[in-house]
Structure 1
């Protein structure tokens, strides 16, 4: 499924170092996953607004889901095209994403997001219901953390890929 690029835009800041993301607080936690999000931009982002294709994936490499003990991880690929630049990437958005679980099962996630800079780290939070497949009826919240932006790359070679750490909490 496609994620809207306005949401992906928040992932375009620049490669992250190994960051730890704390899961959001919730009254009842049904599951927790950790991993990363990687996005590649074609052409690379620069200071000029232009049509850009973003492709990537959410990769939850470690999951603990007591109600579904066979679920150990998922991949959520995404792609889309939007006018982007290094300075127009942190905009809220919404969309759907298909989560492909290690068991071969598939879940559908309908999300909306917001982004902010927390102590120099670009942080995005996407949340919404799982509408089909394993964990249907639960709310999934993803927290993404990226290292501080280095705008020097925007002025020279451009930004062609970013990676950030992610935590997914099912409640």
Structure 2
């Protein structure tokens, strides 16, 4: 009788481990992590007063994905013409969307909110959002970029601040 009861306990434990959900010992990594090189140009350059400016963005991404190893890189290339901008807008918060084109030819459209801080010559921008369409749809996205050695004195006279560049990261989860 004792051995039958012991056998039933072993069977019950084995069966319960098959029926109950299994949780990992730690959180799974995000879908995708990317290192970024970013460059932005302003034409004409940004000044302390607002004026229509064309803003061109070129970001190159180098990525690692555990869930989709074919995605190894991507880029964002866009020019927005006639934006009413000044140097003070660099610190503005806001929201928007943009599209990343992956090395596989797929795209991801990201809707985001933005905040920025200026610290010791570096503009730190944080964008938090969600992939609204395309590859990785539904993932949350955190994008942090540091625009290094920003020369804000250029904002005081023509030609103004004409470019910025820096490094960043993307995390999709």
Q: Quickly name the TM-score band, shorter chain normalised.
A: 0.7 to 0.9
After TM superposition, which residue ranges in structure 1, 4 or more long, deviate above 6 angstroms?
A: none
Residue 120 (structure 1) shift: 4.5
The offset of 1:157, in angstroms, is 3.2
Q: Secondary structure at the match of 2:90?
A: coil
Instruction: Give per-residue Cα distances to partners, 1:9-29, cap 9 Å, x unaligned.
Output: xxxxxxxxxxxxxxxxx9742
For residue 170 of structure 1, what is the aligned residue in structure 2?
172
- Where structure 2 has 5 or more consecutive residues not aligned to the other structure, the ranges are 1-26
Residue in 1 that maps onto 2:21: none
CA distance in 1, matches of 2:29, 2:129: 15
CA distance 1:132–1:114, change in 2 (3 Å): same
For normalisation by structure 2, the TM-score amounts to 0.75
What TM-score does the superposition give when structure 1 sets the normalisation length? 0.76
Who wins on radius of gyration, i.e. which is larger?
2
Contact 2:132 2:138 in 1 (8 A): yes
C-alpha distance in 2 between matches for 1:87 and 1:132 = 32
Relative to its length, the structure with more helix (as a share) is: 2
**CA offset digits 1:85-138 (Å, max 9, x no partner):** 223321012111111000111111111111113454321111111122221111
SS state of the match for residue 49, structure 2? coil
Contact 2:34-2:171 at 8 Å conserved across structures: yes
Q: In terms of mean alpha carbon deviation, does 135-144 or 111-120 score higher?
A: 111-120
Uncovered stretches (5+) of structure 1, i.e. residues with no partner = 1-25
Q: RCO higher in 1 or 2 (8 Å CA, sep ≥ 6)?
A: 1
